[in-house]
Amino acid sequence: MKTVLLTVDKKVDKEKIYAQAVDILNQGEVVAFPTETVYGLGAVATNEEAVKKIYKAKGRPSDNPLIVHIGTMEEVPNYVEEIPENAKKLMERFWPGPLTLIMKAKRGVLATSVTAGLSTVGIRMPDHEVALELLRALKKPLAAPSANRSGKPSPTKAAHVYEDLKGRIPLILDGGTTGIGIESTVLDVTVNPPVILRPGGITKEMLEDEIGEVLEPTPKEQELESTPKAPGMKYTHYAPEAPVYLIEKNHEKIEQTIAKLKKEGHRVALLAPSNYSATSADYFFPFGDEEDQKQMAAKLYDSLRACDKTDATIILATTTSSEGVGAAIMNRLFKAAGGKFIEVPGTE
């Protein structure tokens, strides 16, 4: 299959591009498109055959449900049994935006593989002109996971999608680099208090400001749960080829560790905030100013992908504060590292 990449910007005939994308989607094919978080790989959420193509193109395990993207608030009651009061408030406040709400699904409306057999469905309205215009032209919901090969870091640029899915999907809409850079917050509002299943750009503090208490299990607590509530969170994820290890941000310890690894024959890549001073690492990927968590989030996946372009045999990533958006950054780094910390020389 040939993969076409079309740039959607103000100069070109946008309507024509959307019409082409809508045609392809209505034929039961998949299309990649930008959202404010990461690029998504969309298929009409009511078309079972089309949704199956998403799993196939990504190599995604079939027990991992997809988020349904909508273009207007009015559609929500078509897909869910009821909209809890909390959810109404959050929709008003944060949609369009990076918040996915898990609600009870109406039976028999969406393709069964969207929900991967669960009785609930995750819904969100993306805050990106291209995504919204596409949804509104299509007038149907789009099931869309992140548009990466399963296990890889999510794509924040059309070029990342092309790298991962070239030859496997017919069309990519290029809307530039995505602004937020990590996936939406997933919040289960079927329970009280609601539970954050995946931290993201809308933080616990922001949610609590609107609806009061919200629970946010730590990565360790999530691991201990026998049946993860967001099935996707149980897989090693967001990971480049070389193994990733977490390390505390302490210059001396990091440099000692790098020296030891190099002696063992490793080529070391270091992922740390841009203000990290001189390093003996073979590759250094600064991922934003430590004082600016939003910038760190926006650069994280690009940095992880950049590691794959090197011959590094090991990647060290520094930990950061878990406050605010830091919770989402640490969640993704923890997954990329499979929870592993590197052993620092001189400590046991």
Supply the minimum distance, in Å, between the C-beta of residue 129 and ligand TXA: 15
**Is residue 40 a contact residue for ligand TXA (CB under 6 A)?**
yes
List, in sequence order, the alpha helices (H) in the chain.
14-26, 48-58, 76-79, 85-94, 112-115, 129-138, 158-165, 204-211, 219-224, 251-263, 293-308, 326-336
CA 187 – CA 199 distance, rounded (Å):
8
Question: Which residues, 6 or more positions from 246, have their beta carbon under 8 angstroms from its beta carbon?
Answer: 316, 317, 318, 319, 333, 334, 337, 340, 341, 342
Q: Which is nearer to ligand TXA, 126 or 326 (CB)?
A: 126
- In one letter, which amino acid is 323? E
Count of residues in contact with Mg ion, rule CB under 5 A: 1
**Is residue 32 a contact residue for ligand TXA (CB under 6 A)?**
no
Give the number of C-alpha atoms closer than 13 A to the C-alpha of residue 137, restricted to the C-beta side. Answer: 19
Tell me, residue by residue from 67 to 96, as one string, x for binding to ligand TXA by CB under 6 A and - for no binding. Answer: x-----------------------------
- In one letter, which amino acid is 56? K
DSSP string, 94-115: H-SSSEEEEEEBPTTTS-HHHH
Angle at 107 between CA 22 and CA 67, to 5 degrees: 45
Ramachandran region, residue 149 (left: φ > 0; alpha: ψ -120 to 50; beta: rest): beta
Supply the minimum distance, in Å, between the C-beta of residue 48 and ligand TXA: 16
Site for ligand TXA in 102-141 (CB under 6 A): 102, 115, 118, 120-122, 126
Q: Is the peptide bond before 65 cis (omega within 30 degrees of 0)?
A: no
Q: Which does 115 bind (CB under 5 to 8 A by kind): ligand TXA, Mg ion, none?
A: ligand TXA
**Looking at 133-141, 143-151, 264-272, 315-323, which segment touches Mg ion (CB under 5 A)?**
143-151
In this structure, the number of other CB atoms found within 10 A of the CB of residue 226 comes to 4
**Looking at 71-79, 228-236, 243-251, 306-314, which segment touches ligand TXA (CB under 6 A)?**
228-236
Site for ligand TXA in 308-327 (CB under 6 A): none
CA 58 – CA 169 distance, rounded (Å):
10
Q: Which is nearer to Mg ion, 14 or 157 (CB)?
A: 157
**Looking at 35-43, 294-302, 322-330, 340-348, which segment touches ligand TXA (CB under 6 A)?**
35-43
Q: Which two tokens stand for residue 67?
A: 């988020």
Q: Which is nearer to Mg ion, 233 or 268 (CB)?
A: 233
**Is residue 173 a contact residue for ligand TXA (CB under 6 A)?**
no
> Which residues pair with residue 31 across a beta bridge?
42, 171
The answer to whether the CB of 164 falls within 8 A of the CB of 186 is no
Tell me, residue by residue from 184 to 223, as one string, x for binding to ligand TXA by CB under 6 A and - for no binding. Answer: x-x----------xx-------------------------
Site for Mg ion in 144-173 (CB under 5 A): 146
CA 167 – CA 2 distance, rounded (Å):
5
Supply the minimum distance, in Å, between the C-beta of residue 319 and ligand TXA: 22
Supply the minimum distance, in Å, between the C-beta of residue 39 and ligand TXA: 7
**Is residue 307 a contact residue for ligand TXA (CB under 6 A)?**
no
The alpha carbon torsion through 326, 311, 264, 345 (nearest 10 deg) reads -10
Q: Which is nearer to ligand TXA, 47 or 100 (CB)?
A: 100
Question: Residue 103: what are its φ and ψ, rounded to 5°?
Answer: -130, 170
**Is residue 144 a contact residue for ligand TXA (CB under 6 A)?**
yes
Supply the minimum distance, in Å, between the C-beta of residue 46 and ligand TXA: 16
Count of residues in contact with ligand TXA, rule CB under 6 A: 30
User: What residues make contact with ligand TXA under the rule CB under 6 A?
Assistant: 35, 37-38, 40, 64-67, 98, 100, 102, 115, 118, 120-122, 126, 144-146, 183-184, 186, 197-198, 229-233
User: What residues make contact with Mg ion under the rule CB under 5 A?
Assistant: 146
